[in-house]
Amino acid sequence: MDIHPDKTNEMKAEIYESLAVINHSFEQLISALYKLGKRVDLGEDYAYNQEIIASDLWARINTHALASITKRELEEKNHFSRMRASLERKQRKP
């Protein structure tokens, strides 16, 4: 029997991978900004000020995405909890 991954599971993995890419990218951007600031005179506190702006955007993206992700995960948890309970009831029957 050939088993193909469910599109929902594939989409879920892509969502988490995309969020990881965004988070790594913000971390790299901020780190690179400070490295650049050590080599080029960007002005007093420029890197720090830009870090604040970037971190605010970073947090906004994460909270917005995570609110949606959490809602979907709770729906899936409830759905699969009911399915598991049903499966366990069937397995207990003689």
pLDDT of 19 above 90: yes
Domain coordinates of the chain in residue numbers? 11-92
Q: What is the pLDDT of residue 40?
A: 95
Q: How far apart are CA 25 and CA 19, in angstroms?
A: 10
In this structure, are residues 42 and 36 in contact, taking their beta carbons and an 8 Å threshold? yes
Average pLDDT over residues 11-27: 97
Average pLDDT over residues 17-31: 98
Higher-confidence position of 90 and 58: 58
